[in-house]
Amino acid sequence: MELRAAVRSLAEKEIAPYAAEVDEDSRFPQEALTALNASGFNAVHIPEEFAGQGADAVSACVVIEEVARVDASASLIPAVNKLGTQPILLSGSEQVKKLVLPAIAAGEMASYALSEREAGSDTASMRVRARLSGDEWVLNGTKCWITNAGVSSWYTVMAVTDPAAEKKADGISAFVVHADDPGFSVGAKERKLGIKGSPTCEIHFEDCVIPGDRIVGEPGTGLRTALRTLDHTRPTIGAQALGIAQGALDAALGYVKERRQFGRAVGEFQGVQFMLADMGTKIEAARHLVYASAAASERGDARASFMASAAKSYASDVAMAVTTDAVQLFGGAGYTRDFPVERMMRDAKITQIYEGTNQIQRLVMARQLLKG
């Protein structure tokens, strides 16, 4: 596929050389952002009518996969640009779309703010509050774990607008907040196991005032929009996991051909070959599931939600298994920062946790199966 070749070439030339340093120094991959923006791979999903590329969901996955193959942190630029803007694409007014989407297509970044310290898997128990005051909304509270906070200029924020709603989910609305809005601030960076180049921070709202028309969809529909968004973006986390796994397998293949023990390359031992074959099989199976789930989300298939959870959980479990095996195949060298598989193993872990833990994915899938 031409798209894959183009992204791979860009990723290898402009992103891979900085991946180890970005991880070591826990710094934002600015070189990746510059390269992705210059080539238009920063947010390929934005429709042409909003000055974007209008790429389909499978193409967006291929971009994320190829960037993640060399640097998982950098792959969160296109992935979270999609996550932050998907609620707007699904439910935003024409005005909100025009305000945010062309800016993201042009290289600004978007974040998605659902989680709170005490409301992770149980999203409906969120506490951030938005009150209508005249024709403006006033937001108060703190969101946490916000990917790319501080770098993004736009934040899609879910907040409680009707605390008395009979069902908590019906009392939540979605808004877009700009980094320069009064009363908005970004907290300190979390110190993480992996994806160290992608800042993860709390964001604070202290009487943060935004215009009334910054609501995304009707009042009370925000959580449903936020969860529908995940049907479109869980395939992208699957793609990120897939890319990390492919990067680890490629590194391992290179190493076992070079490394010699007992007078021959370790890749000649059948015990090693069986590991490689299993790694390759798992990756290929994950790839099929990820693309099928992306296509299902694109065409609004009734099984899209099941497929998205299946792809995200399966591909992330594959990424964890394959990166762990890649470290194993490097022997002691794999345990050091001199080779990329150690970073890839640390980066893989988050894909089993965010956008809903893999336990939550299984709940979503089982619910769908039992519904029939």
Ligand X SMILES: Cc1cc2nc3c(=O)[nH]c(=O)nc-3n(C[C@H](O)[C@H](O)[C@H](O)COP(=O)(O)OP(=O)(O)OC[C@H]3O[C@@H](n4cnc5c(N)ncnc54)[C@H](O)[C@@H]3O)c2cc1C
Q: Least distance from C-beta 83 to ligand X, angstroms?
A: 7
Q: Which listed residue (30, 121, 273, 336) binds ligand X by CB under 6 A?
A: 121
Nearer to ligand X, 145 or 205 (CB): 145
Which positions ≥6 away from 19 have C-beta within 8 Å?
29, 70, 71, 73, 74, 197, 340, 343
Question: From CA 203, how far away is CA 177, in angstroms rounded?
Answer: 11
Q: Candidates 43-51, 106-114, 128-136, 329-337 — which segment interacts with ligand X by CB under 6 A? A: 106-114
Strands (E) across 161-279 are located at 172-178, 184-189, 200-211, 215-216, 260-261, 264-265
Question: From CA 162, how far away is CA 130, in angstroms rounded?
Answer: 9
Q: Least distance from C-beta 112 to ligand X, angstroms?
A: 5
Strands (E) across the chain are located at 110-113, 129-133, 136-147, 154-160, 172-178, 184-189, 200-211, 215-216, 260-261, 264-265
Bridge-based pairing state of the strands 129-133 and 136-147:
antiparallel
Q: What b/e sequence results for 107-143 when a residue is b if at least 16 CB atoms lie within 10 Å of its CB, and e otherwise?
A: bbbbbbbbbbeebbeebbebebebeeeeeebbbbbbb
Question: Could you say whether residue 137 binds ligand X (CB under 6 A)?
Answer: no
Nearer to ligand X, 178 or 192 (CB): 192
Question: Could you say whether residue 126 binds ligand X (CB under 6 A)?
Answer: no
Supply the angle between the helices 341-349 and 222-258 in degrees, to the nearest 10. Answer: 160
Q: Which listed residue (59, 75, 147, 309) binds ligand X by CB under 6 A?
A: 147
Question: From CA 247, how far away is CA 347, in angstroms rounded?
Answer: 12
Question: Could you say whether residue 308 binds ligand X (CB under 6 A)?
Answer: no
Nearer to ligand X, 325 or 355 (CB): 355
Binding mask 245-284 for ligand X (x = CB under 6 A): ----------------------------------------
Residues 191-210 interacting with ligand X (rule: CB under 6 A): 192, 200
Nearer to ligand X, 7 or 226 (CB): 226
Nearest to 238 by CA among 188, 289, 164: 289
Q: Least distance from C-beta 77 to ligand X, angstroms?
A: 13
Please tell me what DSSP assigns to residue 116.
B
Strands (E) across 212-261 are located at 215-216, 260-261
Question: Could you say whether residue 28 binds ligand X (CB under 6 A)?
Answer: no
Nearer to ligand X, 24 or 136 (CB): 24
Question: Could you say whether residue 30 binds ligand X (CB under 6 A)?
Answer: no
DSSP-assigned letters across all residues of 330-371: TGGGGGSTTSTHHHHHHHHHGGGTSSS-HHHHHHHHHHHHHH
Q: Is 93 helix (H, G, I), strand (E, B) or coil?
A: coil
Q: Which listed residue (70, 99, 105, 114) binds ligand X by CB under 6 A?
A: 114
Q: Least distance from C-beta 145 to ligand X, angstroms?
A: 3
Nearer to ligand X, 111 or 293 (CB): 111
Cβ neighbours, 10 Å, residue 263: 6
Question: Could you say whether residue 120 binds ligand X (CB under 6 A)?
Answer: yes
Binding mask 336-365 for ligand X (x = CB under 6 A): --------------x--xxxxx-xx--x--
**Which position's Cβ is nearest ligand X?**
120
Q: Least distance from C-beta 359 to ligand X, angstroms?
A: 3
Question: Could you say whether residue 113 binds ligand X (CB under 6 A)?
Answer: yes
| Amino acid at position 127, single letter | R
Question: Could you say whether residue 146 binds ligand X (CB under 6 A)?
Answer: yes
Backbone angles phi, psi at 36, to 5 degrees: -65, -40
Question: Could you say whether residue 225 binds ligand X (CB under 6 A)?
Answer: no
Decide if 355 is catalytic: yes
Number of residues that bind ligand X (CB under 6 A): 21
Which are the catalytic amino acids?
A: 355
The residues binding ligand X (CB under 6 A) are: 111-115, 120-121, 145-147, 192, 200, 350, 353-357, 359-360, 363
